Structure 1
Amino acid sequence: MSISSSTSPRITTSLLAIMLALFSGCTTASLPSLPVVSGPGAKIDVTSQTHPEASRSFKFDQALYNVDDNSDVTILLIQGTAENPTAVLTARMFWTPIPAQTPIDQTATNATFHLALYNDQPDGSKACAVYAGAGFLYLYNNAGKSKLSAGIWEANLRLADATTNHKNVYDKSKLDGKIIALKNSTLLSENLATINQITAQYLGYPRFMMNPSSPFITPPSDQQLARSY
């Protein structure tokens, strides 16, 4: 059976999703939707469980990624610029889902995440907060290509570090999103170093946005999130 050129995009997308579910062998009722970001960038939804009215979508114009010698994937998303960011998200994936072998559900965890928010207060002071957590990062093409398509699914965030003037509305939040990132290890490292410096300036002490390397990923406890990141 062939699909004519007049077939609607909605039908084509639905068929693709069904085929993906059938051939992947994943034990779940629904998979993360395919990324719809048109170019390099990301759309990330943060849903607060304690302050639902504060839930919002973040759009990142800069999206970079790299694959290290252990095949771990690192993604860096920047809203604004590396020198003057308003939001930054880092993600590190420690293992890649294997079709027909990897179950996908709300408890699946293969990546850690850090979300940093920066803003200047009316009194001239600087506010910053870093949220950290773990969740599922699903790749829609093989890592190592010039462009990577990925989705974040069912990640949990907790407040890890913050200035005293930060209004904490995203503690106990869900993180979901769609990413298209360009492979550029040099620029990723340079931008990350700059962001680490800026974050330290806001907080008043060193705070690295890169996740610690570990082959075992489980949701961190509240005690661990308090200072270990």
Structure 2
Amino acid sequence: MIHRRTAVALLASPLLLTGCGGGAEATERRARADRPAPTGTPTPHVRAAQAPQGIPGLGPTRQAAIPARCSQAVVVSGRGEDSPLSTVVLHERADTDTGWQAGATWPAHNALHGWSAHHMLGDLCSPLGVHTLSDAGGLLPDPGTRLPCHRSAGFHSPGSGFEGEPLDGCFDHVVAIDHNRKPGTSPLDRTRPLGAERGGGVWLHVDHGVPTHGCVSVSKAHMRDLLRTLDPARHPVVVMGYADWPAG
């Protein structure tokens, strides 16, 4: 290693280079540079560069599916391929050069029959994948989200769920999951780019205590927290799947 004083001396004097080695003058300079440093001279410490920390539990395939500009990722981890039970964690990073930081873990429900890699209308499965989050809405007033928010009476959900529980209120707040839908429209929009048979209307919404038809549901308080946090300028996505699927 050439020390600072030696480097300064080299810049201050002319170089007479002859061939690859640089001739006798260069040989003498290399000899001086190779001499051990005087006792007490500190050795510079260079810290090895560390790659930004990825999202825990996500393998290279899932991590690569998250756009580089994304700095908010909602991770939905299902208990099993056929299970309707899952957890939700919002991961964030300050910029693309820093690691991801996990928020709180929230209990959640997914579809009655678990998960599908090829979601179809009526299969009662939630679609595996990494999906963008573009639009919000609901029956109640906007709680303060920066996402485009579409309030409508159309979010009223009469009737009952799989165990006879009332569904009223489960669409008070929703975030559309961009599976087979047109981003930039109300979650109620019925445009289906992949065709009607591939289902649609897959949302994050308020939990009603039992499995969903294909959506992911968390408590109303957590939905309101999520809506206030998600920012379209940070290009949020949802990563959703069961057990070890995210590790792929």
User: Quick check: TM above 0.5?
Assistant: no
TM-score when scaled to structure 1? 0.26
TM-score when scaled to structure 2? 0.24
- Higher strand residue share: 1
Larger Rg: 2
